């Protein structure tokens, strides 16, 4: 059973995918460009750095929450979800293995 926070995050990702990325799939594929605006919007919605602990400035969500986000974003546009997954991987590596200087950047 999902927590209320997980449901809220999932629903946010679902609405974003349905409203912002899915309608642009064909144009984005045709253009072959990096949709910077989509990533800025996702960041504004808090869909990045999910696993970063609260003391480090993140929400400290779990793997299930991350999977819910990836599932919903993939429904909208798998390429956007894949790139978001890479960003999440980098933030996870920085949390676990990065120096204080690297984390600050």
Q: What is the pLDDT of residues 23-34, one digit of tens each?
A: 999 999 999 888
d(CA 98, CA 39) in angstroms, rounded, equals: 23
Q: What is the pLDDT of residues 50-87, one digit of tens each?
A: 999 999 989 999 999 999 999 999 999 999 999 999 99
- Yes or no: say if 47 and 65 are a contact pair by the CB < 8 Å rule: no
**pLDDT: is 62 or 104 the higher one?**
62
């Amino acid at each position: 059973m999902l927590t209320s926070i997980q449901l809220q995050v999932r629903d946010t990702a679902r609405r974003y995918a349905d409203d912002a990325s899915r309608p642009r799939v064909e144009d984005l594929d045709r253009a072959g460009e990096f949709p910077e605006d989509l990533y800025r919007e996702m960041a504004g919605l808090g869909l990045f750095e999910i696993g970063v602990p609260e003391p480090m400035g993140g929400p400290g969500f779990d793997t299930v929450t991350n999977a819910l986000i990836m599932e919903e974003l993939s429904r909208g546009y798998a390429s956007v979800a894949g790139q978001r997954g890479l960003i999440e991987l980098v933030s996870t590596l920085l949390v676990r293995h990065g120096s204080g200087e690297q984390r600050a950047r």
